[in-house]
């Protein structure tokens, strides 16, 4: 695993740049664990201070130090994105592999459900949940809801790979070697879909963080919880650009772009994932 | 060039790849010299990953990276100016393709676009090279399909509506409608049932006689070679190890590998124990030194491990690359054994 | 004679086509044969694509249910709904796969298939027992555990892989192997190694093999008895040598005439047997009213 990572870093520029960008953001977000201030409190600092030696990212109109505010916001948003991605990956792997391998009525039922989730528009549903739950709508609840909507396309993708694997001779061989269905799916087929899982993992994070920002900017989330979206929400509601507090908008946007570009590059280069050294050996055959 | 339509001179074609910082060179074709005469069926036999596919890629002028021609030439003479496909420009290749040089592919289902009718496929591929259009082209195609025992109605059919044998005949028709002088046939009958296989083979043979073309016929099935080829070249690990007229190759092979290929063929009416060849074909990325067959060879001596034997004449039209060619025993029919003495 | 495997009047019909124009295809039609328990043999099923030979193999392996007739293994039906019964049956009847390079997951070590087999069928729990079972089976095919332990498929040759695959099938000591076209995808130099191995399994270890092929030459070389199938029907069956030396049914004659022989090397014998093709198609068109008739030399021919 480490050797794979090392080879990818050494020979794949996209992966290296992506890793550095995401690494910067991740370290920045991790700093919030050592934050000297509570990011949910307001008027702890002088409002509207431009970036300076004391306040690196300046302060906002609500009297918060933007450095620690954004650090907490990125931590929350990244955790949110990872939660959505992990949960929806689990669903899409389970559905995709089972539908592809078992086929028959299992496949038909799962794909029917799959298509319903593809067809239902997620945005109004999330707004509806917000209206019902109001301030009970915390990050985790929202992650759960989004995970329920984030899997169907990838499940179809995984199913199409599993369909091909089902008819490969090694699958039949495994069955006659007495392996159980669970074992066939997890040990024989899962390694083949891992590249898809990794690359869609990044895409899914991009999607869910983007969705969270959209909702938050419109005020459809718990606005007291610092996230990338709620930072922008408050900036907007205080007309930050109009009153000249440009750093309140510009700095988070730069960080978002870094995050998204980093995740995108990782997603692209993950296609190279399947153990490059075994590929090398196969090349010589 | 005179009598020869194709002359291949010390051809070397390697796959050169750079992957995760490791440079890798696969010597798929490593110094092959041979020629094909006019009106001749030249059979090429070899195991999978012996380099025979790369060799015919070069012959078909389909040389694309990572495959590169390192040295040598492959020159066609179609009457006009000879064309060396290893250096020819795309325009020069286009000028000979279809009218002079054609290619019958292996999988008839993947060659034919499933959503186009056969007639349209013919237009897509052959109308421009032939310089015909409309009814003149259609007439030419219908006439040609007649030679292949196909009714004109197949032109209105989709590929999946035809049987496997019919589809393979359509692909053959597609490759030969321009009456090419030189046809490369890559395992054209491997996927077919025995009855259909014989039918298709006889069709190819008849077409070849009628049109006076030359064919390079590639297959790993020696019994197909026995019946269609005039001469056979055996490729092992990127090199031509033996070349002989068909009859001579089957009755008096002069290389232990070809002797084995011939001896291991089962025959109806003969149940004597057939030998199997131990070991595996060498990796073309790191082939063994000396003669590449020596690790599996029952006749190997010390010299074989260090010095690669040249392809030398051992009889009329018969060349073999073996230090002990004289010791390879002729096969006694009915006694399937590798030609080994002492 | 107690029967190891008894195939009695087995038929398989498939529904083809959509909602409109449904068509019934008889993939296998009234096939009967038996393999004795006390006399190991190689029993060959010869047929072209569409002859129903693969469907028949799948039914014998219990992967598909016959539409009519029955298949009994040691007196019991081969199709089991119950998982434990199915496992017990699979221990006795194992398949040999077509392509050795495809039979192993390229991302996994080859020995895990053997381990799984030893664990599931023999109930072997401790490491020593599993390894003993693996090594024993590998010895039968001329390999040893030391040679293949921890290896990935791409590190082994095609011949080694096919032998490992066969060794895997041999771990539960099955009396019957089903080999569906085990040599059609492999190179000539490998083909005879596999065919010879099947022969050795019969002679040295008393394993019966159902060898399914379209290749008459290897069938002649190794089989004791054979059946020739055309469009789901048996057209001729009996002792392999007698039938192939002198086929009686026009279709069998057509198959034999279509085999390309190296004896004709250089002579270019490619004349299609059109007359035989005509005969065999005639027979096929009247096949509904036909039946198998016994001959003096033990063969049965469809007339």
Mean pLDDT in runs of 10 for chain C (303 residues)? 87 76 82 92 92 91 91 90 89 89 87 91 87 91 88 83 91 93 79 89 94 92 94 93 93 91 77 83 83 87 88
| Residue recorded with tokens 């066969």 | C166
Does the CA dihedral B194-B199-B205-B207 come out positive or negative?
negative
**What is the average per-residue pLDDT within B85-96?**
88
What lies within 8 Å, CB to CB, of B294 at 6+ separation is: B288, B300, B304, B305
Query: Which structure tokens are listed for C105?
Result: 């997951």
At C26-48, the pLDDT tens digits run 889 889 999 999 899 999 999 98
A interface test, pick of B18, B22, B286 with most A CB neighbours within 10 Å: B22
Render C177-190 in DSSP notation, one character per residue: EEEESTTTTS-HHH
Minimal-distance CA residue of chain A relative to B24? A284
ipTM associated with this complex: 0.84
Taking alpha carbons only, the member of C77, C5, C76, C9 closest to residue C34 is C5
Check A11 against B20: CB less than 8 A apart.
yes
Kind and range of the H or E run holding A225: none
Query: Which structure tokens are listed for B303?
Result: 């010299």
Do the Cβ atoms of A83 and A143 come closer than 8 Å? yes
Determine the distance in angstroms separating the CA of C179 from the nearest CA of chain A, rounded to an integer.
13
Pick the most confident of A4-13, A67-76, B102-111.
A67-76
Render C275-292 in DSSP notation, one character per residue: HHHHHHHHHHHTGGG--E
Query: Which structure tokens are listed for C112?
Result: 């895990």
Determine the distance in angstroms separating the CA of C121 from the nearest CA of chain A, rounded to an integer.
7
Neighbours of chain C (3+ CB pairs under 8 A): A, B
Pairwise CA distance, residues B58 & A232, whole Å:
61
What phi-psi label fits residue A242: left (phi over 0), alpha (psi between -120 and 50 degrees) or beta?
alpha
Pairwise CA distance, residues C300 & C293, whole Å:
5
First vs last C-alpha separation in chain C: 28
CATH for C210: 3.40.50.300
Q: How confident is the model at residue B109 (pLDDT cuts 50, 70, 90)?
A: low
How many structural domains does chain C have?
1
Chain B residues touching A280 at Cβ < 8 A: 19-20, 22, 24
Residue A275 forms contact with B (CB below 8 Å): no
Neighbours of chain A (3+ CB pairs under 8 A): B, C
Query: Which structure tokens are listed for B130?
Result: 């032939």
Kind and range of the H or E run holding C265: none
Check C105 against A169: CB less than 8 A apart.
no
| Average pLDDT for chain B | 86
Res B291: pLDDT:
93
Q: How many CA atoms lie within 13 A of B161 on its CB side?
A: 10
Res B341: pLDDT:
36
The domain ranges of chain A are 2-284
Res C242: pLDDT:
93
Antiparallel, parallel or unpaired: β B22-37 and B4-19: antiparallel
Res A264: pLDDT:
86
Query: How many Cβ atoms from other residues are within 10 Å of residue B64's Cβ?
Result: 7
Determine the distance in angstroms separating the CA of B282 from the nearest CA of chain A, rounded to an integer.
9
What lies within 8 Å, CB to CB, of A110 at 6+ separation is: A95, A98, A99, A155
CATH number for B4-229 (one of 3.40.50.300, 3.30.160.340, 3.20.20.140, 3.40.50.10860): it is: 3.40.50.300
- The crossing angle, in degrees rounded to 10, of helices A139-149 and A190-217 is 130
Chain B residues touching C54 at Cβ < 8 A: none
A interface test, pick of B14, B19, B280 with most A CB neighbours within 10 Å: B19
Q: How confident is the model at residue B19 (pLDDT cuts 50, 70, 90)?
A: low
**What is the average per-residue pLDDT within A186-191?**
89
Res A6: pLDDT:
78
Chain B residues touching A14 at Cβ < 8 A: none
Q: What is the CATH number of domain A2-284?
A: 1.10.3720.10
- Across the interface, of C221, C256, C258, the residue whose CB is closest to B274 is C221
Res C186: pLDDT:
77
């Amino acid at each position: 695993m480490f050797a794979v990572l090392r080879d990818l870093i050494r020979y794949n520029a996209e992966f290296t740049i992506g890793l550095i960008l995401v690494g910067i953001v991740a370290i920045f977000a991790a700093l919030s664990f050592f934050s000297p201030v509570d990011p949910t409190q307001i008027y702890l600092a002088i409002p509207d201070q431009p970036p300076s030696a004391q306040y690196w990212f300046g302060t906002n109109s609500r009297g918060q130090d933007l450095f620690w505010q954004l650090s907490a916001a990125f931590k929350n948003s990244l955790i949110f994105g990872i939660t959505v991605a992990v949960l929806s990956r689990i669903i899409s792997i389970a559905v995709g592999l089972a539908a592809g391998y078992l086929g028959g009525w299992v496949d038909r039922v799962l794909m029917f459900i799959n298509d319903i989730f593809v067809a239902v528009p997620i945005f109004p549903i999330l707004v509806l949940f917000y209206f019902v739950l109001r301030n009970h709508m915390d990050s985790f609840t929202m992650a759960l809801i989004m995970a329920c909507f984030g899997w169907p396309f990838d499940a179809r993708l995984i199913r199409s790979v599993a369909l091909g694997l089902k008819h490969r001779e090694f699958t039949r061989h495994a069955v006659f070697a007495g392996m159980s269905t669970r074992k066939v799916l997890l040990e024989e087929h899962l390694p083949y879909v891992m590249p898809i899982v990794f690359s869609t993992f990044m895409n899914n994070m991009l999607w869910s963080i983007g969705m969270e920002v959209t909702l938050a900017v419109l005020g459809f989330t718990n606005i007291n919880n610092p996230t990338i979206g709620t930072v922008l929400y408050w900036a907007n509601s205080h007309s930050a650009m109009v009153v000249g507090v440009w750093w309140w908008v510009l700095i988070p946007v730069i960080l978002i772009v870094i995050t998204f570009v980093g995740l995108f590059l990782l997603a692209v280069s993950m296609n190279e994932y399947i153990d490059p050294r075994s590929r090398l050996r196969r090349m010589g055959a | 060039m005179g009598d020869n339509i194709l002359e291949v001179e010390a051809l070397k074609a390697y796959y050169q790849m750079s992957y995760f910082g490791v440079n890798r060179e696969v010597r798929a074709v490593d110094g092959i010299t041979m020629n094909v005469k006019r009106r001749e069926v030249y059979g090429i036999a070899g195991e999978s990953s012996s380099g025979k596919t790369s060799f015919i890629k070069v012959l078909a002028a389909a040389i694309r990276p990572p495959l590169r021609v390192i040295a040598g030439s492959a020159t066609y003479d179609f009457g006009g100016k000879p064309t060396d496909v290893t250096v020819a420009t795309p325009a020069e290749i286009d000028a000979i393709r279809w009218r002079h040089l054609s290619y019958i592919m292996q999988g008839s289902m993947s060659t034919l676009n499933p959503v186009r009718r056969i007639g349209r496929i013919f237009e897509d591929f052959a109308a421009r090279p032939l310089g015909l259009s409309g009814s003149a082209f259609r007439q030419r195609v219908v006439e040609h399909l007649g030679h292949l025992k196909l009714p004109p109605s197949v032109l209105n059919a989709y590929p999946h509506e035809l049987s496997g044998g019919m589809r393979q005949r359509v692909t053959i028709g597609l490759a030969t409608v321009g009456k090419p002088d030189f046809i490369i046939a890559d395992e054209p009958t491997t996927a077919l049932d025995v009855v259909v296989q014989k039918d298709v083979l006889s069709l190819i043979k008849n077409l070849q006689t009628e049109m006076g073309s030359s064919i390079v016929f590639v297959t790993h099935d020696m019994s197909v070679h026995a019946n269609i080829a005039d001469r056979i070249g055996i490729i092992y690990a990127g090199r031509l190890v033996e070349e002989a007229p068909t009859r001579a190759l089957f009755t008096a092979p002069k290389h232990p590998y070809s002797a084995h290929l011939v001896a291991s063929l089962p025959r109806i009416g003969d149940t004597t124990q057939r030998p199997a060849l131990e070991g595996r074909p060498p990796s073309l990325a790191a082939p063994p030194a000396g003669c590449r067959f020596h690790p599996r060879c029952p006749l190997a001596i010390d010299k074989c491990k260090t010095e690669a034997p040249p392809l030398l004449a051992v009889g009329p039209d018969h060349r073999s690359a073996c230090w002990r060619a004289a010791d390879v025993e002729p096969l006694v029919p009915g006694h399937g054994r590798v030609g080994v003495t002492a | 004679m107690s029967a190891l495997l008894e195939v009695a009047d087995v038929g398989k019909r498939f529904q083809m086509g959509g909602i409109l124009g449904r068509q019934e295809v008889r993939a296998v039609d009234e096939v009967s044969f038996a393999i004795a328990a006390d006399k190991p043999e190689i029993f060959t099923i010869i047929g072209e694509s569409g002859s129903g030979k693969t469907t028949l193999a799948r039914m014998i392996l219990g992967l598909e249910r016959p539409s009519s007739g029955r298949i009994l293994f040691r007196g019991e039906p081969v199709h089991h709904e119950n998982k434990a019964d199915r496992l017990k049956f699979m221990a006795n009847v194992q398949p040999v796969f077509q392509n050795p390079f495809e039979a192993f997951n390229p991302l996994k070590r080859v020995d895990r298939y053997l381990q799984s087999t030893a664990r599931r069928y023999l109930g072997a729990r401790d490491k020593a027992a599993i390894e003993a079972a693996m090594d024993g089976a590998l010895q039968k095919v001329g390999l040893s555990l030391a040679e293949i332990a921890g290896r990935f498929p791409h590190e082994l040759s095609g011949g080694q892989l096919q032998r490992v695959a066969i060794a895997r099938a041999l771990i539960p000591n099955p009396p019957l192997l089903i080999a569906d076209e085990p040599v059609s995808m492999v190179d000539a130099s490998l083909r005879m190694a596999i065919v010879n191995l099947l022969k050795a399994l019969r002679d040295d270890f008393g394993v019966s093999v159902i060898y399914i092929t379209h290749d008459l030459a290897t069938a002649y070389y190794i089989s004791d008895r054979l059946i020739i199938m055309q469009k789901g029907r048996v057209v001729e069956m009996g002792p392999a040598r007698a039938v192939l030396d002198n086929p009686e049914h026009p279709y069998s004659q057509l198959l034999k005439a279509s085999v390309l022989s190296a004896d004709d090397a250089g002579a270019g014998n490619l004349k299609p047997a059109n007359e035989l093709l005509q005969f065999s198609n005639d027979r096929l068109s009247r096949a509904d009213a036909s039946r198998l008739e016994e001959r003096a030399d033990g063969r049965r021919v469809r007339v």
